[in-house]
Structure 1
Amino acid sequence: MEHVDAVVIGSGFGGSVAAYRLAEAGRSVVLLERGQPYPPGSFPRSPQQMGRAFWDPAAGLYGMFDVWSFKGCDSVVSAGLGGGSLIYASVLLRKDERWFVHDEPLPGGGYESWPISRADLDPHYDVVERMLGAAPYPLDRPPFDDTPKAHAMQDAAAELGLQCTLPPLAVSFSATPGGAPGLSLPIADAGHRNIHGVGRRTCKLCGECNIGCNEGAKNSLDHTYLSAAAHHGADIRTSREVKAIRPRPGGGYEVDYVHHTDLTAKKARPPVVTMSCDRLVLGAGTYGTTFLLLKSRKAFPGLSRALGTRFSGNGDLLTFLLKAKDRNRVRPLDAARGPVITSAIRLADELDAVPGAGRGAYIEDGGYPGFADWIIQGFDAGNEIERAVKFLWNRFTEFFKDAPDTNLSQELSDLIGDGALTVSSLPLLGMGRDIADGRLHLREGRLAADWTSRTSEEHFRRVRKTMQGIADVLGAEYADNPMWFRKRIITVHPLGGAPMGATKDEGVCDAFGEVFGFPGLYIADGAAMPGPVGPNPSLTIAAQADRLATRLLEGVPARGGAGTVVSVPDDTGAGPAGGAGPPDGAGGVPGNGTAYGPRSGGGTITPLPRSEPVPEGRGGVGGSIAVALDRTSLSFTEEMKGFVTYGVTDPRAGELADERVRLAFRLTITAEDTDRFLAEPEHAARAEGWIDAAGRGGRRPVRRGWFNLFAPGGAEDRRLMRYRLYFTDGENRPRTLVGHKNVLHGPPTRIWPDTSTLYVRILRGHVGEHAEDGAEVLAAGVLHIQLTDFARQLTTFRTTGPGGAGKLVSFGRFFAGELWEVYGPDLD
């Protein structure tokens, strides 16, 4: 049976991000996508192509539109390489900070509760926005300024006293990031080969985002995360539909899938292929992931009873503005010009300290392809008939004239009409905080949903009333979508079904997407959302998947066997002398042993603390290997956030300066030998993880890192917690973050501020401890541990090796004893 480190199911906003992060970290990754790839130029447009553009393999249909009809709602999702990004409108809005609710009651009982916060996601939002090339619509630059619907939305919002913005879009309007925008310009290569091998061009304002961008202007996941994942070695397999999953005896998981090899006709059921993995990431979308878990429930005994719950449509509502007028003249709205969405009007939530506002929402302009104007104009039946009768009557009367008019240009122009209906009409898209009380379940082996708009009636009433107000301002007629008479909605943002929660009783997975009771099984897509996101959820799903991948990688050994190959770093960044290193996996020890060997060669290397002695036999040809299996390691994870200012050398000044920028890190601190760690005066440990420097390259991996706990501070009643982290900035220039927590004698009330405040400086180059005084300081500032992060940190302590529980107790006693030594009363 084929076995890999990780299998990722689905290539949407969860699966693509997870696959990229794992591949980038050197893991062996297979991504299974049921749909097919769609290079620019291959999306269906003709009636014959559109007729087969739907997903139903049993009927021989393998297209990208997967349409569901449930009790209370209809839904459209996508099948294809890139998942929902192929048909979404490219909006990248963050979930509002105050909308991460806790224990908000649901009408039928229970609560909507988010175990994560905006602060948890902000660093990951930053990363995803950069990767997807987020940029607002350039409405102030010609020819993009000629976009009537965007101006109309701004005018309506101003008249109604509402907030209207140009949201970030994952669309390339310029050939290079930050370049001058222009129509149909060749897009520069992003630095990794595009997975399709086909050139892309900037947006030409054709309104075809939702049916697949044939220009390649949309920065969909196939052009971004999936291309980068393939560049780093991910094995991306299309037309593979997963049928079942289950735990693997002895650990890990097995996946059954079928390969749709013939996409031209209905055929017999293809054979099932089974593969196994150490970690399994579910990114098949809200419906696909929940369906898989429901079908495989017997294989996962003890799976949370929350499976299938918290389903919602993210408050989606589609309506229309028709025949807009200004002073009895046709007001152009031109829905077919521009990307599908350019603007967003935000409706405040009572959580925003606006009493009586209700639940928050967004209203966005819609669009459609230009060729659809011919279809839509046909709905203006009354005028069509009138024009046809007039044309026939004129031709009849001309027949009897002695000198008939032989030029029919005007008559034909009048017959076609002025297109007033299409040029003055506009879809409106609403979404927001509806009630997440729907349920997904199986009915005779098929996925079914129980959902009703009744419990969210207040939300829909408010959104419709605001849309009617927009219609009034623009002199337009308001129309609900044809399904609303039955109080049915059409959602393109289904969420929930396998929600995250603080406990197993509350959710299927934890705040990092790991399924309760099944280590290594992760949910990375919209199914994990415990309630509505509010704005378009794609960015939040991707950010949570990035956060999930960070946590997953913190506990996963590098490729190359169960053992870990380690080496001792020096201060210069140069590797140790010695011969060729072991190939991938060489030097590994069965189980969780640690092997020492040279850093060069194919083996994956993890640095040791500076104080770790060099094992005998290090270096030389091949490198001798020393193995230690009788010691117990201890690790924990720490996350700190704050601000630094470039050009400042004093940390306190850097924290407060007007030009400050956000800085954060997440580190896993590991003491390979707990006994030695507690005994040595420097208490040195290894630090691994990432640093996120806003505007200076974003999140960057820590190349090498050292941490000292309660190291001597020059006075008997002073201790230092020291950090030294090697990383590179966005231009791959070496940088060092050095920092310390100043644990100084004082009242016990100083314990928390002293141990949670880190004074940091960023130095040019990779600077060793003894060269620090002469190093150039590029920036300085202060980081803090938030109370919520500290509470999570307490849950991350782990030990590996014999007597782990006792070692953890010893560490706790040491920590408390050091605090007593510093902050305890003076008994002299």
Structure 2
Amino acid sequence: MEHVDSVVIGSGFGGSVAAYRLAEAGHEVVLLERGQPYPPGSFPRSPRQMGRAFWDPSEGLYGMFDVWSFKGCDSVVSSGLGGGSLIYANVLLRKDERWFVHDEKGPDGGHRPWPITRADLDPHYDVVEEMMGATPYPLDRAPFDDTPKTHAMQDAAAELGLHCSLPPLAVSFAAQPGGAPGLSLPIVDAGYGNLHGVGRRTCKLCGECDIGCNEGSKNSLDHTYLSAAKYHGADIRTSREVKAIRPRPGGGYEVDYVHHTDLTAKKSRPPVRTMSCDRLVLGAGTYGTTFLLLRSRAAFPGLSDALGTRFCGNGDLLTFLLKAKDRNRVRPLDAARGPVITSAIRLPDELDGVPGAGRGAYIEDGGYPGFADWMLQGLDFGNEIERAVKFLWNRFTEFFRDAPDTNLSKELSDLIGDGALTVSSLPLLGMGRDTADGRLDLRDGRLAADWTTRTSEAHFNRVRRTMQGIADVLGAEYADNPMWFRKRVITVHPLGGAPMGDHPGEGVCDAFGEVFGFPGLYIADGAAMPGPVGPNPSLTIAAQADRMATRLLEGVPARRGAGAVMVSVPDDTGAEPVGGTGSPEGTGHGSAYGLESGSRGGVGGSSAAVSGRTSLSFTEEMKGFVTYGVTDPRTGELAAGRRRLSFRLTITAADADRFLAEPEHTARAEGWIDADGRGGRRPVQQGTFNLFVADGAEDRRLMKYRLYFTDGEDRPRTLSGHKNVLHGPPTRIWPDTSTLYVRLLEGHVAEEDESGAAVVAAGVLHIQLADFARQLTTFRTSGPGGAASLIRFGRFFAGELWEVYGPDSH
């Protein structure tokens, strides 16, 4: 039986983040995705292609759209490498701080707690936003300013006294971060490349986000986290559908899966294969993860009774504005121009201090492809647009055939005939804090849901009233989703089923996603959400997965990596041996902070403390410039031709007491160095850090860094750096402790040999204030007396600063 460190099931916002973090930290990771990869240019467009773009292996369909029909709601999710990011509308909004409800009674008398807070997630929101390239729609720049639907939403919000924003979108509008936006520009690959090996181009405003972006403009998970995971050695396997999971005798877990090799075969029965792992991360989505746990429940005795509970659709509601007019003239809204979503109107919540407001919600502009451009491709329909649209919707609604009262072709055709897809019409997308009182379970071996709009009636009525108000402002007719008269909704944001909680009576997993009673089994996707997120939930799911991975890595050493060797640090430093990225027995993470440039929030405590000792760790990120061919750091920082240089390190003192007591205050430094144009991001093979080392004068201290790495041509290099903490007024504390003077040396050079070493480059790095604020949240301890060790460290740090910057005693 194949055995690996970690198996991740699913490649959506939870699974992709988890796979990347584990692979980046040097773990052997296999990711199993049931769907196919979709490089730019491969997404279906013609009616024939769209007719086969659904997921139903029993009928020989292995496409992207997975449509579920339940009591009270229908749902569309994705099957493919990148999960829901392939078809979502790119919005990356954070869950509102006050909406993390901790003691709210539900209609059944139970509580709907969020065992996490906004403060817990904020550092992880930061890194996900940076990795996903979050940026608002550039409405102030031509040609993006010519987007009628966005201006219309702003006008309506102003008239109704509501707040309208341009939410962060995971879309590339410029060729590279910080560049000027433009249409169809070639996108510069990130340092980790692209797993598809196909070029990408910036957004051309075609409105095709929800059916797959053939330009590659969307910064979907396959272009970001999954490409980075593969770069770090993750084994990504597509067309692998997991059928069952169970604990493994002796520890770990076993996974049964099938490999779909013939993507045209009906009712194919590929053989079931089994692999085992030490850690198992479930990221198959709300439906997939809950279904696997329900189906495998007999193998998990003692699994929480909360399994299947707190299901909801995040308050999703789709409506339409039709035939908008301005002074009896057609008002163009042109929903087909732009990304699918460009703006968001926020409805306040009672929790925001607005009495009587009810539950909070968001209303966002919708979009759709230019049907005349893509629906007729390959077919001779002439001008019969209505016929083409009916064809698509008929094929789509065939997949609701097993559910009563869901044949919507007539209603949808009537709606389309009334002008839903004309230049003066606009879909509206609502979402918010509906009631998470639904339940998922198995019926005849299939996943079923019991959920109703009745207990969320106040939410839906409020959203509909506001949408009607928007219609009035824009001179448009308001039209409900055709299913609304049956009180059914379509949700693309299903949540819950395996919710987190403070104890097994409240949730299936804890606040970090680890399943109660089953160490090493984690839930990383929307199934873990204990209630509605409110805004689009993708960012919150990804941030929670990042937080989960941080906790997972705190106590799990890496066993594998990118080829570095075990390097021993002299035992008299108080540091443990460094586990390089290739060390089979390493205790560290090597390049545990891989490819983003935002603060991770810290994997602190990555090495297990030696018995009886308490380890202390924190992360630090510094950025700046060096110039090659100069030897003076100050000159190198400002010289023409300077190049960017940055690093992110985990500083670990394996024995905190010894670290504080010894005069050199030596700790281990692990992480990466990113040298622009000289090999990019490279792992630190061995590193040391010294805090407040005396250097001659009584009122002078140095913070010293020595990092061994190799450049892009595998030539050994040493980063030698120091912070000069010199007596002066207290206003000098920040600039002195946040400024690092560095030299890059040829070879791996010990401190005592540095005077004769060749200097390759020199410059200055700095800690940004925001990065420093995040750094303060990364301190971790492992071992007995952790809190006391932190206090002693704080007193030592403050005391040393007082010695240097305090008033003269004479």
TM over 0.5: yes
1:235-281 CA-partner distances (Å, limit 9, x unpaired): 11110000111122222211111000001121431101111112111
Answering whether residue 132 of structure 2 is matched by residue 149 of structure 1, we say no
Residue type of the alignment partner of 2:654: A
Structure 1 residues 230, 810: closer, same or farther in 2, change over 3 A?
closer
1:654-673 CA-partner distances (Å, limit 9, x unpaired): xxxxxxxxx9999685535x
Residue 176 of structure 1 and its aligned partner are, at CA, apart by 2.3
1:384-433 CA-partner distances (Å, limit 9, x unpaired): xxxxxxxxxxxxxxxxxxxxxxxxxxxxxxxxx99796111111000011
Structure 1 residues 701, 604: closer, same or farther in 2, change over 3 A?
closer
Residue 168 of structure 1 and its aligned partner are, at CA, apart by 1.3
Residue type of the alignment partner of 2:23: A
Structure 1 residues 639, 813: closer, same or farther in 2, change over 3 A?
closer
Deviating more after overlay: 539-548 vs 337-346: 539-548
Q: Is the 8 A contact 1:496 1:528 kept in 2?
A: yes
Residue 735 of structure 1 and its aligned partner are, at CA, apart by 9.0
- CA–CA separation in structure 2 for the residues paired with 1:339 and 1:59: 33
Residue 764 of structure 1 and its aligned partner are, at CA, apart by 2.8
Describe the SS at the equivalent of 2:184: coil
Which of 635, 650, 654 aligns to 1:671? It is 654
- In the other structure, the counterpart of 1:717 is none
1:458-481 CA-partner distances (Å, limit 9, x unpaired): 111111110000000001111110
Q: Is the 8 A contact 1:136 1:167 kept in 2?
A: yes
Structure 1 residues 69, 735: closer, same or farther in 2, change over 3 A?
farther
Answering whether residue 551 of structure 2 is matched by residue 568 of structure 1, we say no
Structure 1 residues 175, 782: closer, same or farther in 2, change over 3 A?
closer
- CA–CA separation in structure 2 for the residues paired with 1:153 and 1:350: 24
Q: Is the 8 A contact 1:567 1:605 kept in 2?
A: no
- In the other structure, the counterpart of 1:28 is 28
Residue 766 of structure 1 and its aligned partner are, at CA, apart by 7.8
Describe the SS at the equivalent of 2:30: strand
Deviating more after overlay: 317-326 vs 242-251: 242-251
Structure 1 residues 668, 438: closer, same or farther in 2, change over 3 A?
farther
Structure 1 residues 704, 817: closer, same or farther in 2, change over 3 A?
closer
The within-5 A match list for 1:34-433 is 34-371=34-371, 422-433=422-433
Structure 1 residues 441, 783: closer, same or farther in 2, change over 3 A?
same
Describe the SS at the equivalent of 1:478: strand
- CA–CA separation in structure 2 for the residues paired with 1:501 and 1:436: 14
Describe the SS at the equivalent of 2:422: helix
Deviating more after overlay: 127-136 vs 420-429: 420-429
Q: Is the 8 A contact 2:742 2:765 kept in 1?
A: no
- CA–CA separation in structure 1 for the residues paired with 2:241 and 2:673: 37
Q: What TM-score results when the alignment is normalised by the length of structure 1? A: 0.73
Q: Is the 8 A contact 1:11 1:31 kept in 2?
A: yes
Which of 761, 776, 786 aligns to 2:738? It is 761
Structure 1 residues 274, 281: closer, same or farther in 2, change over 3 A?
same
For structure 1, the 5+ residue unaligned runs are 382-416, 596-602, 607-628, 647-662, 693-698, 715-719, 741-756, 800-807, 824-828
Residue 679 of structure 1 and its aligned partner are, at CA, apart by 8.3
- In the other structure, the counterpart of 2:548 is 548
Describe the SS at the equivalent of 1:442: strand
Q: Is the 8 A contact 1:364 1:429 kept in 2?
A: yes
- CA–CA separation in structure 2 for the residues paired with 1:197 and 1:814: 47
- CA–CA separation in structure 2 for the residues paired with 1:487 and 1:675: 64
What is the root-mean-square deviation in Å for CA atoms of aligned residues? 5.0
- CA–CA separation in structure 1 for the residues paired with 2:472 and 2:665: 70
Q: Is the 8 A contact 1:377 1:422 kept in 2?
A: no
- CA–CA separation in structure 2 for the residues paired with 1:733 and 1:141: 44
- CA–CA separation in structure 1 for the residues paired with 2:619 and 2:22: 23
1:679-730 CA-partner distances (Å, limit 9, x unpaired): 86888665768999xxxxxx99998787999999x9xxxxx9x9989799xx
Residue 117 of structure 1 and its aligned partner are, at CA, apart by 1.9
Structure 1 residues 691, 18: closer, same or farther in 2, change over 3 A?
farther
Residue 557 of structure 1 and its aligned partner are, at CA, apart by 1.4
Describe the SS at the equivalent of 2:139: coil
Q: Is the 8 A contact 2:333 2:423 kept in 1?
A: yes
Deviating more after overlay: 493-502 vs 473-482: 493-502
Structure 1 residues 811, 307: closer, same or farther in 2, change over 3 A?
closer
Residue 63 of structure 1 and its aligned partner are, at CA, apart by 0.7
- In the other structure, the counterpart of 1:632 is 611
Residue 483 of structure 1 and its aligned partner are, at CA, apart by 1.0
- CA–CA separation in structure 1 for the residues paired with 2:771 and 2:82: 37
For structure 2, the 5+ residue unaligned runs are 376-382, 391-416, 593-607, 626-645, 675-680, 726-733, 745-749, 755-761, 800-810
Structure 1 residues 227, 671: closer, same or farther in 2, change over 3 A?
closer
Structure 1 residues 318, 735: closer, same or farther in 2, change over 3 A?
farther
Structure 1 residues 569, 734: closer, same or farther in 2, change over 3 A?
farther
- In the other structure, the counterpart of 2:521 is 521
- CA–CA separation in structure 1 for the residues paired with 2:249 and 2:316: 43
Structure 1 residues 472, 711: closer, same or farther in 2, change over 3 A?
same
Q: What TM-score results when the alignment is normalised by the length of structure 2? A: 0.74
Q: Is the 8 A contact 1:377 1:421 kept in 2?
A: no
1:556-594 CA-partner distances (Å, limit 9, x unpaired): 212259xx94522899xxxx9xxxx999456x4xxxx97
Residue 157 of structure 1 and its aligned partner are, at CA, apart by 0.8
1:757-791 CA-partner distances (Å, limit 9, x unpaired): 999534233899999xx9978458799999x979x
Residue 487 of structure 1 and its aligned partner are, at CA, apart by 1.4
Describe the SS at the equivalent of 2:226: helix
Q: In the comparison of the two structures, how many residue pairs are matched? A: 695
Structure 1 residues 759, 96: closer, same or farther in 2, change over 3 A?
farther
- In the other structure, the counterpart of 1:434 is 434
Structure 1 residues 314, 818: closer, same or farther in 2, change over 3 A?
closer
Q: Is the 8 A contact 1:260 1:270 kept in 2?
A: yes
- CA–CA separation in structure 2 for the residues paired with 1:207 and 1:505: 45
Residue type of the alignment partner of 2:137: Y
Q: Percent identity?
A: 74
- In the other structure, the counterpart of 2:808 is none
Describe the SS at the equivalent of 1:126: helix
Residue 534 of structure 1 and its aligned partner are, at CA, apart by 0.9
- CA–CA separation in structure 2 for the residues paired with 1:366 and 1:354: 27
Residue 604 of structure 1 and its aligned partner are, at CA, apart by 6.4
Residue 136 of structure 1 and its aligned partner are, at CA, apart by 1.4
Residue 380 of structure 1 and its aligned partner are, at CA, apart by 13
**Higher relative contact order structure (alpha carbons within 8 Å, sequence separation ≥ 6):** 2
Q: Is the 8 A contact 1:760 1:780 kept in 2?
A: no
- CA–CA separation in structure 2 for the residues paired with 1:371 and 1:811: 62
Residue 316 of structure 1 and its aligned partner are, at CA, apart by 0.5
Structure 1 residues 638, 514: closer, same or farther in 2, change over 3 A?
farther
1:328-385 CA-partner distances (Å, limit 9, x unpaired): 111111111111111111111122222222111110011111116988867999xxxx
Deviating more after overlay: 424-433 vs 215-224: 215-224
- CA–CA separation in structure 2 for the residues paired with 1:540 and 1:17: 12
Structure 1 residues 273, 21: closer, same or farther in 2, change over 3 A?
same
The within-5 A match list for 1:595-610 is none
- CA–CA separation in structure 2 for the residues paired with 1:680 and 1:566: 22
Structure 1 residues 532, 90: closer, same or farther in 2, change over 3 A?
same
- CA–CA separation in structure 2 for the residues paired with 1:423 and 1:218: 24
Q: Is the 8 A contact 1:735 1:762 kept in 2?
A: no
Q: Is the 8 A contact 1:33 1:81 kept in 2?
A: yes
Residue 123 of structure 1 and its aligned partner are, at CA, apart by 2.0
Q: Is the 8 A contact 1:75 1:492 kept in 2?
A: yes
Deviating more after overlay: 333-342 vs 126-135: 126-135
- In the other structure, the counterpart of 2:678 is none
- CA–CA separation in structure 2 for the residues paired with 1:205 and 1:307: 42
Structure 1 residues 705, 425: closer, same or farther in 2, change over 3 A?
same
- CA–CA separation in structure 1 for the residues paired with 2:132 and 2:503: 33
- In the other structure, the counterpart of 2:629 is none
- In the other structure, the counterpart of 1:506 is 506
Structure 1 residues 557, 483: closer, same or farther in 2, change over 3 A?
same
- CA–CA separation in structure 2 for the residues paired with 1:161 and 1:645: 44
The within-5 A match list for 1:648-797 is 669=652, 671=654, 686=668, 760-765=737-742, 778=766
- CA–CA separation in structure 1 for the residues paired with 2:128 and 2:793: 43
